[in-house]
């Protein structure tokens, strides 16, 4: 049939001359497509280049860009016992040293420059000195590089000072913790309702939605993989004059001001009532807590100033979104670092000097000089 069609002239060869317009049109189409492809590749290259630049900035620049922050706050209650000239506090937090000498020595040098010649009354560190025990030597080098405080150095431990976490397994661990909480909650949150058991597909969807809300509430935890020697850390720092305040208070020499410390909310045995025992109700009080969620407790309202860390300021702060993961349930994202207030209590959350993972974007490390002043007459 095909041969017959050819013999009847149904299939014809087009003379070469007649092909020319068709060839030119096809060439124009391919030229335009080639230009569009080149533009697309150029755009993708620019995006990739920008991504590489931002990644390099977050990995190699911002973690070492140690800033200095200064602020003054006045007591919101008229309380006797604070010196008339106030107290100058140097606040550090979340060093997360792990023995990475090049990175950590660079940060120590920055802190040394930022604090050189400063006169401070109190040196405060609100925990997570260590990422693991290998960082102890650099922690001690950091403390040795800071001017000696007039009234003392005080600290509380953070969760990483107690436990080594495997962050690579954080997604799996967080899911297991979430499911365990759901099982514990049982029918109260509908996790194990009969309808969900019967409609397994819908049950999975609902469970994933609840898990999404769980993550948005800043639950994302590394899997515990070992312990740090918290006793060794305490002994080494106490030899350098830094006191750990584990659910206890001290009165600053020559003043009526008290500093209270609380054990870590996640890995310690926190007991704020015990810590406040013996502190007069009308005494100026500074409360140290690694985790700012201490503000949830009613007793924290007795403090005039709460100093905390733990959040890293979100560590990665995105335009329009803000801090990506703040590790706190009680503060809004806008309160994840810096100053905020709860009734008559000042709250200051430090972004930290170190990182859980070695990147920062929009949340540079810092040291803070905070001046606490008496209430206005």
Q: Are 149 and 192 part of one and the same domain?
A: no
In a domain, 221, yes or no: no
Residue whose structure tokens are 């280049």: 49
Report the SS3 class of residue 89: strand
pLDDT digits (tens, 9 = 90+) for 346-376: 999 999 999 988 999 999 999 999 999 999 8
Q: Are 316 and 232 part of one and the same domain?
A: yes
Selection from 128, 130, 127, 188 nearest residue 155 by Cα: 127
Reply yes or no on whether the pLDDT at 39 is more than 90. no
Q: How far is CA 351 from the centre of its chain?
A: 7
CATH code where residue 113 lies:
3.60.21.10
Q: Are 161 and 185 part of one and the same domain?
A: no
Give the pLDDT score at 297: 94
In a domain, 196, yes or no: yes
pLDDT digits (tens, 9 = 90+) for 208-229: 777 776 666 666 677 888 999 9
Q: What is the mean pLDDT of residues 58-81?
A: 95
In a domain, 222, yes or no: no
Selection from 242, 218, 89, 82 nearest residue 161 by Cα: 242
Lowest mean per-residue pLDDT among 133-137, 180-184, 196-200, 372-376: 196-200
Domain end: 64, 81, 115, which one? 64
Q: Are 172 and 246 part of one and the same domain?
A: no
**Inter-residue contact 357 to 327 (CB < 8 Å):** no
In a domain, 157, yes or no: yes
Q: Are 197 and 256 part of one and the same domain?
A: no
Q: Are 139 and 248 part of one and the same domain?
A: yes
Maximum CA extent, the chain: 117
Lowest mean per-residue pLDDT among 9-18, 94-103, 111-120: 9-18
In a domain, 282, yes or no: yes
Q: Are 23 and 119 part of one and the same domain?
A: no
Q: What is the mean pLDDT of residues 295-319?
A: 95
pTM: 0.81
Q: Are 335 and 188 part of one and the same domain?
A: no
Q: Which residue has the higher pLDDT, 322 or 205?
A: 322
Domain count, the chain: 3
In a domain, 184, yes or no: yes
Give the DSSP letter of residue 93.
Answer: -
Reply yes or no on whether the pLDDT at 92 is more than 60. yes
Which stretch, 163-177, 252-266, 308-322, has highest mean pLDDT? 252-266
Give the pLDDT score at 53: 76
What are the CB-based long-range contacts (under 8 Å, 24+) for 31-37?
none
Q: Are 179 and 161 part of one and the same domain?
A: no
Q: Which residue has the higher pLDDT, 148 or 186?
A: 148
Q: Are 74 and 92 part of one and the same domain?
A: yes
Domain end: 216, 248, 281, which one? 216
In a domain, 344, yes or no: yes
Lowest mean per-residue pLDDT among 23-27, 285-289, 318-322: 23-27
Domain end: 64, 92, 116, which one? 64
Q: Are 332 and 296 part of one and the same domain?
A: yes
Reply yes or no on whether the pLDDT at 167 is more than 80. no
Instruction: Express as a percent the part of the chain with pLDDT over 70.
Output: 80
Give the pLDDT score at 175: 77
- Mean pLDDT value across the chain: 85
Inter-helix orientation angle 200-216/170-185, to 10° = 110
Phi and psi, residue 212, nearest 5°: -60, -45
Give the pLDDT score at 324: 84
Helix then strand count (H, E) for the chain reads 10, 16
Find the domain containing 59 and state its range: 1-64
**Inter-residue contact 82 to 122 (CB < 8 Å):** no
pLDDT digits (tens, 9 = 90+) for 118-141: 999 999 999 999 999 999 999 999
User: Where are the extended beta strands (E) located within 207-257?
Assistant: 223-227, 242-244, 248-251
Instruction: Express as a percent the part of the chain with pLDDT over 90.
Output: 62
pLDDT digits (tens, 9 = 90+) for 251-292: 999 999 999 999 999 999 999 999 999 999 999 999 999 999
Which stretch, 52-56, 88-92, 98-102, has highest mean pLDDT? 88-92
Q: What is the mean pLDDT of residues 308-328?
A: 90
**Inter-residue contact 141 to 108 (CB < 8 Å):** yes
Report the SS3 class of residue 320: coil
Reply yes or no on whether the pLDDT at 113 is more than 90. yes
In a domain, 15, yes or no: yes
Give the pLDDT score at 103: 93
Give the pLDDT score at 44: 65
Give the pLDDT score at 228: 96
Give the pLDDT score at 204: 74
Q: How many CB atoms lie within 10 A of CB 328?
A: 23
Q: Are 38 and 137 part of one and the same domain?
A: no
């Amino acid at each position: 049939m095909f041969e017959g069609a050819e013999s009847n002239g149904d299939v014809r060869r087009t003379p070469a001359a007649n092909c020319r317009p068709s060839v030119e049109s096809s060439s124009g189409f391919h030229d335009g497509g080639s230009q569009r492809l080149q533009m697309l590749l150029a755009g993708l290259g620019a995006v990739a280049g920008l991504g590489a630049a931002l990644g390099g900035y977050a990995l190699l620049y911002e973690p070492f860009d140690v800033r200095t922050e200064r602020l003054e706050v006045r007591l919101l209650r008229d309380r006797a016992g604070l010196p008339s000239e106030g107290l100058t506090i140097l606040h550090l937090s979340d060093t997360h040293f792990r023995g990475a000498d090049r990175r950590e020595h660079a940060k120590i040098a920055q802190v040394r420059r930022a604090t050189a010649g400063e006169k401070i009354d109190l040196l405060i560190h609100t925990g997570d000195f260590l990422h693991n025990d290998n960082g102890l030597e650099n922690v001690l080098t950091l403390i040795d590089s800071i001017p000696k405080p007039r009234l003392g150095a005080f600290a509380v431990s953070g969760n990483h000072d107690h436990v080594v976490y495997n962050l690579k397994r954080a997604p799996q661990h967080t899911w297991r913790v979430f499911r365990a909480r759901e099982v514990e909650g049982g029918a109260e949150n509908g996790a194990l309702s009969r309808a969900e058991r019967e409609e397994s597909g819908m049950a999975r969807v609902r469970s994933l939605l609840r898990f999404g809300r769980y993550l948005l509430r800043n639950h994302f935890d590394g899997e515990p993989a070992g312990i740090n020697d918290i006793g060794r850390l305490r002994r080494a720092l106490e030899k350098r004059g830094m006191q750990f305040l584990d659910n206890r208070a001290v009165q600053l020499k020559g003043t009526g001001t008290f500093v209270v410390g609380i054990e870590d909310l996640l890995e310690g045995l926190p007991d704020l009532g015990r810590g406040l025992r013996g502190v007069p109700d009308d005494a100026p009080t500074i409360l140290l807590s690694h985790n700012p969620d201490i503000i949830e407790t009613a007793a924290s309202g007795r403090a005039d100033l709460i100093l905390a860390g733990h959040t890293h300021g979100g560590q990665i702060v995105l335009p329009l979104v803000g801090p990506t993961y703040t590790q706190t349930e009680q503060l809004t994202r806008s309160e994840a670092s810096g100053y905020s207030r709860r009734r008559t209590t000042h709250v200051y959350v430090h972004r930290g000097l170190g990182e859980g993972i070695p990147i920062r974007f929009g949340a540079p490390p810092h040291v803070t000089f905070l001046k606490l002043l008496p209430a206005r007459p």
